[in-house]
A = this chain, B = another copy of it.
Amino acid sequence: MKKSLGARTLVFPTPAWLVGSYDGEGRPNAMAVAWGGVCCSHPPCIAVSLRKATHSYASIMERKAFTVSVPSEAYVREVDYFGIASGRDVDKFAATGLTPVRSTLVDAPYVGEFPMVVECRLLQTVEIGLHTQFIGEILDVKAEESVCDTQGAVDIGKVLPVVYAPDVRSYHGIGRTLGRAFSVGKGVGERGGKP
Contacts and interface: CB of A to CB of B under 8 A. Distances in A.
A24 to B, nearest CB: 22
A112 to B, nearest CB: 8
Nearest to A76: B178
A142 interface: yes
Contact of A181 (B83, B126, B179): B83
A46 B11 contact: yes
Copies of this chain held together in the complex: 2
A138 B8 contact: yes
B189 A180 contact: no
A150 interface: no
A76 B188 CA distance: 11
Q: How large is the interface on A (under 10, 10 to 19, 20 to 34, 35 or more residues)?
A: 35 or more
Nearest to A161: B12
Contacts of A45: 9, 128-129
Interface string A136-177: 011111111100100001111001011111111111111111
A61 interface: no
Given A5-B142, A7-B140, A39-B133, 15 more contacts: A2-B117, A9-B44, A9-B138, A11-B118, A35-B40, A37-B37, A39-B49, A39-B128, A40-B131, A76-B179, A78-B185, A84-B186, A133-B135, A171-B179, A172-B177
Counting from the closest, the 7 A-B pairs by CB-CB distance are: A80-B185, A37-B37, A97-B194, A173-B175, A95-B189, A81-B185, A81-B188
